[in-house]
Amino acid sequence: MEVKGTTISKQDIESGKVLFTKGDPNAHYTWDTGIGIGRYLEGLREGKIWGTYCKKCNRTVVPPRVFCELCFSPVIEWKQLKDTGIINTFSICYVNWDASRVETPHLPAVIEIDGASKGCGILHVLDEVNPKEIHVGMKVKAVWKRPEERTGSILDIQYFKPY
């Protein structure tokens, strides 16, 4: 059985025929980065990617952390990694926040950083690449902002591109 329902038009809402209450959140936060992520962001400001190595698990992770979430040990070593890696997974995104189509697709990807353990990488975006040519295992390199523009943010890396 088809249930037709009642259509509501924009005019119905604007004229007050349909009642509703609007609200915009006033929600603001400043998240403390802490020791692990703090040093990671400092590194990005200097154009370096830091990871941490857990000897017990023989595992190097990025972004770094001051304890190993698997063996729960605080004994970690800081390790500077390369700014290159390979694509673990990616998506070609054609849809905007408002569901409109984008002209140039967004290209998020997880990049396994060279020097980190298998499966450990950075979530970032790709550019300077033909979307049709992107593939799992593709070698990519970070494109950094100029030193004077860096702020200690994940956005200090503009994007990754093939090399």
Partner 1 sequence: MADKVAIIGVGYTPPRPLTPDVSYKEMTYEAAVKSYHDANLSSHKDIDGFVTCAEDLLEGTSIFDEYTPDQLGAVQKPMHTISGDALYGIATAYMKIKTGLMNIVVVEAHSKASNIKTLPHILNYAVDPILNRPLNLHPYYIAGLEMQSFLAQTKTTPEQCASVVVKNKKNALRNDLSCFGANLTLQEVLNSAQTFSPLTKLQTVDHVDGAIVFVLASEKTAKKLHKKPIWVKGCGWISDSPTLETRNWDECDYAKLSSKMAYKQAGIKNPRTQIDFFEVDDTFSYKELQHLEAIGVYKKGTAGEACLKGDLNPTGKTPVNVSGGSLGIGSLLEASGGFRILEIIKQLRGEAGVRQLKKNKTALALAWRGIPTASGACVILATK
Task: Please report how close the Cβ of residue 74 comes to partner 1 at its closest, in angstroms.
Answer: 7
One-letter amino acid of 64: P
- Per CB under 8 A, does 21 bind partner 1? yes
Asked whether the bond before 108 is cis by omega within 30 degrees of 0, the reply is no
**Residue 95: CB atoms within 10 Å:** 11
Span of 8-16, 26-34, 77-85, 95-103 interacting with partner 1 by CB under 8 A: 26-34
Please name the residues in contact with 101: beta carbons below 8 A apart, sequence gap of 6 or more: 94, 95
Task: Please report how close the Cβ of residue 72 comes to partner 1 at its closest, in angstroms.
Answer: 4
Q: Which of 34, 96, 91 is nearest to 66 (CA)?
A: 34
Of 2, 10, 14, 23, the residue at the interface with partner 1 (CB under 8 A) is 23
Span of 2-10, 24-32, 103-111, 142-150 interacting with partner 1 by CB under 8 A: 24-32
- Per CB under 8 A, does 36 bind partner 1? yes
In the block, tokens 């140039």 appear at 104
One-letter amino acid of 105: P
Task: Please report how close the Cβ of residue 61 comes to partner 1 at its closest, in angstroms.
Answer: 11
Span of 2-10, 25-33, 91-99, 151-159 interacting with partner 1 by CB under 8 A: 25-33
